[in-house]
Amino acid sequence: MNNIVAIVGRPNVGKSTFFNRLIQRREAIVDSVSGVTRDRNYGKSEWNGKEFSVIDTGGYIKGSDDIFEAEIRKQVELAIDEADAIVFLVDVEEGITPMDDEVAKLLRKVTKPVLLVVNKVDNAKREQDAFEFYNLGLGEYVTMSGMSGSGTGEVLDKIVEILPELPEVEEVKDELPRFAVVGRPNAGKSSFINALIGEDRFVVTDIAGTTRDAIDTKYNRFGFEFNLVDTAGIRRKAKVKEDLEFYSVMRSVRAIEHADVCILVIDATRGFEGQDQSIFWLAEKNRKGIVILVNKWDLVEKDTMTSFDYEKKIREEIAPFTDVPILFVSALTKQRLLKALETAVEVYENRKQRIATSKFNETMLPIIEHNPPPAIKGKYIKIKYCMQLPTPVPQFVFFANLPQYIKDPYKRFVENKLREIYNFEGVPIEIYFRQK
């Protein structure tokens, strides 16, 4: 289970640059080859063996410069409610502004750990100028320069130091699969769950989940047994406007991190919007199984939009990871709900499958031999051996003489072949090329 760290502060203090600094250490190792990292507002960071999730609140405010203070106040209140630790970023060039004062006023009342970081400090004079930030009443601060990266290590040391200890979650062998129902507010997550659960007698137990606020429902019906994680049930904050994009993403983070399969419910009458995409990429980035349910399909005028057109649009939005089941359902009329469950179970099984190394080589090596990676500078790339790694999510390694010359398009070609042969529908897979 990961702590969540939220970065707050007024516009233009360098939150995004700082965010990229925090996550790049890990992404450089894990994600250096990924063609798309669409969603720049959420990432994972690791320092001194401690892993945590980072959320950049700034990315969710539209219209950058002339931001209303109310918007920023809302962001800070949200971060206070939902995160485990807060990094408050200020800018030494501008000194303390009235808006910094406002944010500090909110943060002074908080019991959660708050780290004040003074950005753009890249010489001794600015180190002196930073003293004025003691006036914010938040105690000690750390200085850094987001552009050059100096001071990032100290900031990370501090973050890791202030993170609260998380309760140990006991690993249960043969644990039931966990399906998280996620989506933007009002897409029909609760109706979907209520329609599924139907009569109470199918509910075995309600346990407060390890995802802090999400409710786990042990579900046993139609021969399926699993835990259903209802993010719609995560505590509602009266003072938060429901339509805040940052809010639904923040709430989904924990549920997604602890699920095996994410059932993303979208509202057919609204289309596949920015928020839906954020949640989709969040699940993809965490390598979870994904099923997309287009809910309220009974309300859509069928002559204006056939399910074929609708599905095509969604697949364009989620490219290149398009091998995802999309179902058209109605929680109200209970249309195709059982099919939705069956599909989630299939995706769970796909994600768990293991391919024997000998079989894998027999299948993949001839394909690679017929379509080798393009030669670079007269050097021929040979792939002699491949295997699936013993990891919880499907990862494959191909051993080559010159792996550094293999480019993304070839990687996608191999992934597409793999998907044609083996059923990984709904499951993100990772492919590595290594020195043999």
Enumerate the known binding-site residues for GTP: 9-16, 56-60, 119-122, 183-190, 230-234, 295-298
**Number of residues that this document lists for the chain:** 436
Give the integer Cα–Cα distance in Å for 401 and 146: 38
**DSSP symbol at 386:** E
- Answer for the pair 277, 270: CB distance below 8 angstroms, yes or no: no
Q: Where do the DSSP E strands lie in 48-201? A: 50-56, 85-91, 114-119, 141-143, 178-182
CB of 160 within 8 A of CB of 50? Answer: yes
Of the candidates 4, 46, 6, 39, the one whose C-alpha atom is nearest the C-alpha of residue 23 is: 46
Instruction: Render 52-96 in DSSP notation, one character per residue.
Output: EEEEEGGGG-TTGGG--HHHHHHHHHHHHHH-SEEEEEEETTT--
Sheet containing strand 3-8, strands side by side: 42-47, 50-56, 3-8, 85-91, 114-119, 141-143
Dig out the tokens for 410 from the structure.
């070839």
* Residue numbers belonging to the annotated binding site: 9-16, 56-60, 119-122, 183-190, 230-234, 295-298
- Helix, strand, coil % in the chain, rounded to nearest 5: 40, 25, 35
CB 249 within 8 A of CB 41: yes
Which residues share a beta bridge with 44?
Answer: 53
Query: How deeply is 339 buried, as exposed, middle or buried, from its count of CB atoms within 10 A (0-12, 13-18, 19+)?
Result: middle
Question: What residue type is assigned to position 144 of the chain?
Answer: M
- The span from the CA of 279 to the CA of 265, in Å, is 10
